[in-house]
Structure 1
């Protein structure tokens, strides 16, 4: 495993685009801390975002992993370009000539995916912990250690998403077209979800739940479901909703069914990547 990772990171270190994209990604993860600096005054009203509880334990684990997950597209570019470069620079063929099997080649890419996801998760954990210790109103150990399952969900989310990108990179061979393929698939899922909502419109309020019951098995929807939006958990949002007569009832928990679905897709994408490479004449 370490040997395969060394090979991949050696390639990445000598690829300027990958280094720049990785630095931008981790720089943006760090910039989550800048949210704490957002403050403005509207007449007598002084608004400081950090005072709204977004950095309180344990809510911060949910908020920061959700925001950080939005930035995953930067690393997706690294993953797909990593595969595109194998074909462009013919390093794939050279690796196989040098004795690397096709199975080891796919494993080296998957180990890189896991490494990126793990480093990202640790990075978000450290940033969140520091912000929480500075701004949180609750610093008891039991509260700090609550809701850490969002970090697990974040890790699995990245592994699943990057594995999809890896498969598309092998399938299409060109990084720009692979990213376009991901966008096209996202549009297809969105259109199908719209069709389901229209098909279930006679069920009125239950239409959305029926559509979600079907959509949860689609790859990007399942990946998205791992960490649901955190904003309706905020006390201020709930207070405003009550004032206008609305009662917000949303399940924000990390569901193990979603984890199982994403792990299934991850395994399938890796297997399909290997099967595709095995059949392809290089």
Structure 2
């Protein structure tokens, strides 16, 4: 395992584009801290975002993992370009000539996906912990380390998403087209979701549940369901909602079924990548 990871990171170390994208990605993860600096002082109106509780423990684990997941497309570019470069520079064929099996080749890519996901998760944990210790109103150990399942969900989400990107990179061979294919798939899922809402338009109650019960099995929707939007959990949002007669009863927890679905899709993507590579005449 270590040997395969070393091979991949040796390639990445000599790829300038991958290094730049990785730096941008981790720079953006760090930029979450800049949210604390957002202030509005307009006459009597004074608004400081950090005072709204977004960095309170344990809410910060939910908020920061949700925000950090938005930047995952930068590492997706690294993953798909990593695969397209294998074809462009013919390193894939050279690796196989040097004795690396096709199974080991796919595993080396998958191990790289896991390492990127793990490092991202640890990075978000560190940034969140520092921000929470500075701004949180609750600093008891039991509160600080509660709700850490959002970090686990973040890790699973990245592994699934990058595995999808890896599969598309092998299928299409060109990084730009692989990313475009990911966007097209996102659009397809959105169209299907819209059609389901249209199909269930006559249902008076439970239309969201009916659509979600089907959409939860699609890969990108399943990944999105791992970490649901955190904004409606904020006290200020709930206060405004109650004033206009709205009450949020949303389940924000990390669902076991969602985790299982993403893990199944991850397995499908990796196995399909291996099957595709095995079938091809390189």
Match of 1:269 in 2: 269
Match of 2:233 in 1: 233
Alignment of 1:12-31 (within 5 A): 12-31=12-31
CA RMSD of aligned residues (A): 0.5
Give 1:248 deviation, angstroms. Answer: 1.2
Match of 2:61 in 1: 61
Length, aligned pairs only: 282
Alignment of 1:189-268 (within 5 A): 189-268=189-268
Match of 1:42 in 2: 42
2-structure distance, mates of 1:205, 1:131: 41
| Matched residue SS, 2:250 | coil
Match of 1:6 in 2: 6
Match of 1:98 in 2: 98
Match of 2:278 in 1: 278
Match of 1:158 in 2: 158
Give 1:45 deviation, angstroms. Answer: 1.4
1-structure distance, mates of 2:142, 2:43: 40
Match of 1:82 in 2: 82
1-structure distance, mates of 2:134, 2:169: 41
Unpaired runs of at least 5, structure 1:
none
Give the TM-score normalised by the residue count of structure 1.
Answer: 0.99
Alignment of 1:179-198 (within 5 A): 179-198=179-198
1-structure distance, mates of 2:151, 2:65: 7
Give 1:249 deviation, angstroms. Answer: 1.3
Alignment of 1:170-181 (within 5 A): 170-181=170-181
Say if 2:138 is the partner of 1:138.
yes
Moved over 6 A (4+): none
What are the superposed Cα offsets for residues 225-278 of structure 1, whole Å, 9 maximum, x if unpaired?
A: 000000000000000000011111111000010000000000000000000000
Unpaired runs of at least 5, structure 2:
none
1-structure distance, mates of 2:238, 2:250: 11
